[in-house]
Structure 1
């Protein structure tokens, strides 16, 4: 028999889409999102390139760039 530890803290996060509280457990199958709807809204924003992870610029489109670097 498994006993639960009453002193164990329950982790709660904010849904990235609607900011509602979401318990980080098996009770929340779409975590960190509160629902499938919020999950799909976020996916759509990434697909439409409304969201991006900052990084170095892509130099492959720069003028004068070549795959053959002369090595």
Structure 2
């Protein structure tokens, strides 16, 4: 049986079918994570973001 850390609070959680909230330890931690996702708190940083994505003048002619 695998044991994982709850992504929200860090509690040890059994990764089994009887844990309906996996990988979370509870409904509360699941909802906290969903709220953070909905508020766009999770991001992937860009290594070299473009200066102006909407600038059509830099497109090849």
Question: Which bin holds the TM-score, normalised by the shorter protein?
Answer: 0.7 to 0.9
Structure 1: 4+ residue segments shifted above 3 A: 53-57
TM-score by length of 1: 0.64
Bigger relative contact order (CA 8 A; separation at least 6) = 2
Please provide the CA RMSD for this pair: 2.2
User: Which stretches in structure 2 are left out of the alignment for 5+ residues?
Assistant: none
TM-score by length of 2: 0.73
Report the number of matched residues: 58
Partners of 1:18 and 1:38 within 8 A in 2: yes
